[in-house]
Amino acid sequence: MRHSFALKAESYELWLSPGQRDYRLHLGGEVIAPVAFSHHLGGSGILEIANETVPVRFAIDGDVLHLHVRGRTHILRYRDRLSEFDLSEVLASHDAARAPMPGVVVAINVSRGDAVSRGATLMLVESMKLEFVVRAPRGGVVDRVHFEVGQSFEQGAALVTFSDEGR
């Protein structure tokens, strides 16, 4: 069975198969073996990969893995089939203007029931010292504005959602 991990904008498909006392990593047509991981206390361990040993620090938060490997930190998300499907459904529908970064609402230019065209200014938001405009990802009728001026939001939050009328 293939598994999928997202790292930055990329998605990687891989799976493990059993080796003699360890595992083999199948990654994009390649087989890397042997691989094994020995845990130590408190989020640290040693990765063995093709007879090399690599110290790893890690923290796991749900399906998000934070790894410190060879002096650099990487954030990966494990995507099981079901949630991946749900996420792609939501993103593909373009029914919401989402926050590209966490921030605070500075001004709101639309309200429920407004018909907007694609690219219309919906909100002015601020993330620390940076101001930016949130634009409509598609034309439609504003179904809901999810935040008020002064409220803060997290990355990925739906700021304004649209209904199908006027599509």
Partner 1 sequence: MQKLPFDTVLIANRGEIAVRIIKTLRKLGLRSAIVYHEVDAATLAVSMADTAIAIEGSSPIAAYLDAEQIIASARRANVGALHPGYGFLSESPEFARAVSNACIAFVGPTPESIELMGDKIRARKFVQQAGFLVAPSAVEEDDPETFASRARDLGLPLLVKPSAGGGGKGIQIVRDLGALDDAIVQARREGLRYFGDGRLYVERCFEKPRHIEVQVLGDFFGNVVHLFERECSVQRRFQKIIEETPSPALSANLQKRVCEMAVGIARSANYRNAGTVEFIFDGHEFHFLEMNTRLQVEHPVTEMVTGIDLVAEQLHVAAGYELTLSQSDIVSNGHAIEARLYAEAPEREYAPTTGKILMLEYPEYEGVRIDSGIVQGQKISTAFDPMLAKIVVHSATRREAALKAAHVMRQLVLLGCETNADFLARLLMDDTFLSGQIHTGYLDENPHLAVGQCGSDLPAILAAAALLTKPVRDAADNVPKLHAELGKWRN
Binding site for partner 1 (CB under 8 A): 1, 3, 5, 7-8, 12, 14-18, 23, 25, 27, 32, 35-37, 43, 47, 49, 54, 56-61, 65-76, 78, 80, 100-104, 106, 127-131, 152, 154-155
**Least distance from C-beta 122 to partner 1, angstroms?**
18
**Least distance from C-beta 155 to partner 1, angstroms?**
7
- Asked whether 65 and 57 are in contact (CB, 8 A), the reply is no
Say whether 147 sits in a helix, a strand or coil.
Answer: coil
CA distance 137 to 131: 19
Say whether 102 sits in a helix, a strand or coil.
Answer: coil
Q: Which is nearer to partner 1, 37 or 87 (CB)?
A: 37
Q: Which is nearer to partner 1, 100 or 113 (CB)?
A: 100
Q: Which is nearer to partner 1, 59 or 90 (CB)?
A: 59
**Least distance from C-beta 112 to partner 1, angstroms?**
26
C-alpha R_g of the chain: 22
Q: With CA atoms as reference, report the closest residue to 111 among 153, 142, 73.
A: 142
Q: Which is nearer to partner 1, 27 or 90 (CB)?
A: 27
Q: Which is nearer to partner 1, 90 or 101 (CB)?
A: 101
**Least distance from C-beta 153 to partner 1, angstroms?**
9
Q: With CA atoms as reference, report the closest residue to 159 among 90, 109, 96, 94.
A: 96
**Least distance from C-beta 123 to partner 1, angstroms?**
15
Q: With CA atoms as reference, report the closest residue to 26 among 38, 35, 16.
A: 16
Q: Which residue has the tokens 């700021």?
A: 159
